[in-house]
Amino acid sequence: MHNNNYYIILFYTIHDVLRAEKVLKQHNIPHELVPVPRNLSSDCGMCVKLYDDINNALLLCSKIDIAGCYNSEGKELKEIKSI
C-alpha cells in the first residue's frame, strides 16, 4: 500500500512525459501519469508521480529535460533541488 509520501516530476512537454514513462516502464519502476497539480504549475498537462525509487527514476530520466521535482513530505509539495 502506498503511503502519503510521493514524488512528482514535471517536464516541459507531453513528449518528455511519455519519454519518461517509456524508460520507467522499461525498468519496471512503478509510476503514474497524473495531471500537473495546480499549485505547482498552471500547465494543463501531465506529470509523473511515483512513491519511491526517486533517485533511480531521476537517473533514468537524466537525458530528459526536467522542469522540477517535488516531494509531498508533510502537507505541502516541496521542490527537491538536488537528490
Partner 1 sequence: MIYLDNAATSFPKPQETIDSLNRFVTKIGGNPGRSGHSLSVEAARIVFDAREKLTEFIHGSDSERLIFTANGTDSLNLAMLGLLNQGDHVITTSMEHNSVMRPLMFLMKQGGVELSVVQCDPYGCLDIDKLIRTIRKNTRAVVINHGSNVIGSTQPIDTIKEAIGDIILIVDACQTIGSLPIEIEKDNIDIICFSCHKSLYALQGLGALYIRKGLELTPLKFGGTGSKSESLEHPDFLPDKYECGTPNTPGIASLFGGLSFIENEGLTKISQRKRALRDRVFRGFSDLDRITVYGDNGKNSILPVISFNIEGKLPSEVGYILNQQEIYVRVGLQCSPMAHKTIGTFPRGTVRVSPGYFTSDEDIDIFLEAVKKIAQQ
User: Least separation, in Å, of the C-beta of 61 and partner 1?
Assistant: 14
Sorted by sequence, the CB contacts under 8 Å of residue 64 that are 6+ apart come out as: 11, 16, 19, 20, 23
Contact 77/37 with Cβ under 8 angstroms? yes
Q: Which stretch binds partner 1 (CB under 8 A): 13-21, 23-31, 48-56, 73-81?
A: 13-21
Question: Which of 16, 24, 49, 69 is in the footprint of partner 1 by CB under 8 A?
Answer: 16
Site string for partner 1, 17-56 (x = CB under 8 A): xxx--x----------xxxx----xxxxxx----------
C-alpha cell recorded at residue 17: 512525459
User: Least separation, in Å, of the C-beta of 41 and partner 1?
Assistant: 7
Residue type, 20: A
From start to end of 3-65, where are the E strands? 7-11, 32-35, 46-50
Q: Which residues bind partner 1 (CB under 8 A)?
A: 12-19, 22, 33-36, 41-46, 65
